[in-house]
Amino acid sequence: MNIYNEKPKIVFYRQRSFGELINVTFDFIRENWKPLLRFITYLILPVALLQGVSFGSFLDDYMGTIADAANGSEDNPLAMFGVSYLFTVLFMFIGYFIVTTVTYVLMQLYDESPQRLKGITFDDLKPRFWHVMGRVMITFLIAVAIGVAAILLMVAVSVVATPLLLFILVPAGAVLAIPYSLVTPLYVFEDCSISEALQRGYRLGFKSLWLIIGLSILLSIIVQFISGVVSLPISIFMGVKGFLGAQGDSAANGPVMTILSFLFSTVSAYVTFLVTPIMTIGLAYLYSHTVEKEDGLTNSRDIANFEQMTMPRHTDIDNFDQLV
């Protein structure tokens, strides 16, 4: 039986309680896990493979640095953070942009199409993929800029400030950062400028501050638990490889260990990307709840559509002068 006939379509702009926000997040994933898995796997698997290669190389550098430090022959403990580490971080960010973009586009298509995501293809994603990715990247870069500015400010203040002032400023900075969680979904789902997204995002974010904190903590626990379970083999592998390296065993850098390092790193990266939509979807529904509660966006749109409706024109009167 068709699932689309069994369950009512999930309404995007709707007020929801905390429990309903959790439920609707996983309801969307349960209903649309096939297109989510298909599109994310197709786009993210090459990135996961590249990240597996770079992370495997980083593990070799890491283990080599640890072994050299244990032998007293390593003078620079930061040597492990080389090119392989930079590429690992780069591929991680690229994967984040792709997964977040795909998730947002699928949510938009689901909300707009009467058929939901049934029969959706890559051609349906293409028209809006780069537009959404651009908006995701803009909000990400702004967040990075804000974070760097905050760190520099903290460093500058620490020179002259007392420990008590720093103790106050750190939580204050965290509180200011939390509402930013709504800026990205607002900028993606609404046709507005980035300045408008920042203003409204912070205004709405402060009004739902505790909801953002609670939802983010709960979903983060779920995501980290899944990622931790999947990453357990690579943690064990790192321990075994480190032990063999410390014993001077050549098998630590042998072909078997190299292949296993690549496989474990790739699988770990792939699963991490797969669970990323949980947080993205949850914050998107939190945005829709908040904007519906505070701004009544659905009612505003209904009124705007009603005002655009016009009475039928009487063509006979308009053409009266042409009557004979």
Burial of 203 (0-12, 13-18, 19+ CB in 10 A): middle
Q: At what angle do helices 33-71 and 122-160 cross, to 10 degrees?
A: 40
Residue with tokens 């912070």: 202
The single-letter code of the amino acid at 162 is: T
Q: Which residues of the chain have pLDDT under 70?
A: 1-6, 61-81, 161-162, 164-166, 242, 245-253, 297-324
Task: Say if residues 37 and 293 touch (Cβ distance below 8 Å).
Answer: no
Q: How far apart are CA 298 and CA 305, in angstroms?
A: 11
Please, what sign has the CA dihedral across residues 70, 248, 59, 224?
A: negative
CB neighbourhood size of 262 (10 A): 17
SS3 219: helix
Q: Check residue 68 and give its pLDDT.
A: 60
Q: How far apart are CA 50 and CA 265, in angstroms?
A: 10
Residue with tokens 């795909």: 102
- Phi-psi sector, 256: left (phi>0), alpha (psi -120 to 50), beta: alpha
Q: How far apart are CA 154 and CA 159, in angstroms?
A: 9
| DSSP tag of 314 | -
CA angle 299, 189, 217 (to 5 degrees): 100
Q: Check residue 324 and give its pLDDT.
A: 43
Quote the pTM value: 0.83
User: Which residues are CB-contacts of 217 (< 8 A; sequence separation ≥ 6)?
Assistant: none
